[in-house]
Amino acid sequence: MSTTAKDKDLTKEIVEYDFRKTKDVSHDKVASLQIIFDAFSQKVASFLSAKLSATVQTRVLSVTQSPYADFVKTIQVPTLIGIIDINPLKGLTLIEISPNLIFNFIDRLLGGKGEIVSLTRGLTDIELEVVENIVTDLAKGLKAAWANVIELNPVLKKIESNPQFAQITSPKETVIIGTIEVKAGETTGNMTLCLPLLMIEPLISKFTGERESSLPGGAEQPVSSEDIIKMRKVVENIIIPLVVELGRTEVTMRDMLELKEGDVVRLNGKVDDVLIMYAEGIPKFRCRPGVVGIRMAAQITQRIG
């Protein structure tokens, strides 16, 4: 074969590659990370409830992916950003907390009642020290959330208020973003956990059951029993809130403002209607109302779906 012919054959095998293109992961892989974010969310609720001596509720609103530069543009200024090193993984992660939550936490920890505030100023030295303690403890939630996958040692590196100074990865690199709604008393805000894909990509297969395949045609290998046990341990410890809806109604704003203790609001259902039980907002069971001792209860009569 001539040199020219060989060069032509080699040219056919060359495929153009754009190094500026953002690397994405499949929707299924992103969805599988919901387990980690759910576990982290529950640890946050547990820690804050104990720390603030108040009931704190959390729920994961979304788990998405985007280039880091696009994510940074969505963060309000000023805000509270904790930059965390999670050894032995190579890289940094980020926890962002909305200012209304931060000032609520500070007020409660300094003896207040956690009144609703809308301050947008910077933190004083005393407030910054309080916040550093909070974020340091929140970082421990990362260790617990990943416990069945890998043993992490999270360390808070610094606190930032401007996202432009919180560069945990290059602007075009893909990051996984988990948005968690936090309710502390009458205050509601969001907490965001941002994980660089390059840092956690080697771990994704540990709880999705996926493996690099050396078989012809890329055939997938079966999930091992060890992986199934690990996934089950993660899922079993997740707390799922159940809600039973007794009924609904509509009132005017005037009527609502005039409501007082002892008033009765008529719902659209009947006392003998079958009720629906929701898990994370999804209808899962049909049930009937009742009591167990002095507590209200619901007896499940049928699974939905």
Helix (H, G, I), strand (E, B) or coil at 282: strand
pTM over 0.75: no
CB contact at 8 A, 139 and 155: yes
Domain architecture of the chain: domains with CATH: 27-236 (3.40.1550.10), 242-303 (2.30.330.10)
CA distances from residue 284 to 42, 125, 241, 248 in whole angstroms, order as listed: 21, 49, 12, 18
Identify the CA nearest to 197 among candidates 91, 95, 60, 97: 91
Residue 123 burial class via C-beta count within 10 angstroms: exposed 0-12, middle 13-18, buried 19 and up: buried
Q: What one-character DSSP code corresponds to residue 163?
A: G
Q: How far apart are CA 211 and CA 227, in angstroms?
A: 11
| pLDDT score recorded for residue 211 | 40
Strand partners, 194: 94, 177
| pLDDT score recorded for residue 156 | 92
Q: How far apart are CA 174 and CA 168, in angstroms?
A: 11
| Tokens 């199934």, residue located | 228
Question: Would you write out the chain's pLDDT as a tens digit for each of its 305 residues?
Answer: 555 555 555 555 555 544 444 456 667 677 778 888 998 998 898 888 888 888 889 999 998 899 999 999 988 888 899 999 988 888 899 999 988 888 888 888 888 776 666 556 677 788 888 889 999 988 888 888 888 888 889 999 999 888 888 888 888 898 999 999 999 888 889 999 999 988 888 777 665 554 443 333 444 445 556 666 766 776 677 777 888 988 888 888 888 888 888 899 888 888 888 898 988 778 889 999 888 888 889 999 999 86
CB contact at 8 A, 157 and 92: yes
Q: How far is CA 4 from the centre of its chain?
A: 57
Q: Which tokens sit at 63?
A: 């788990």
- Long-range contacts made by residues 202-209, C-beta under 8 angstroms, separation at least 24? 203/89, 203/146, 203/149, 203/150, 204/25, 204/29, 204/32, 204/33, 206/149, 206/150, 206/230, 207/32, 207/35, 207/36, 207/148, 207/149, 207/231, 207/234, 208/28, 208/29, 208/32
Q: Taken in order 66, 72, 73, 75, is the CA torsion positive or negative?
A: positive
| pLDDT score recorded for residue 19 | 46
| pLDDT score recorded for residue 119 | 59
Q: Rounded to 5 degrees, what are φ and ψ at 221?
A: -90, 155
Cα dihedral: 109, 114, 117, 122 (round 10): 10
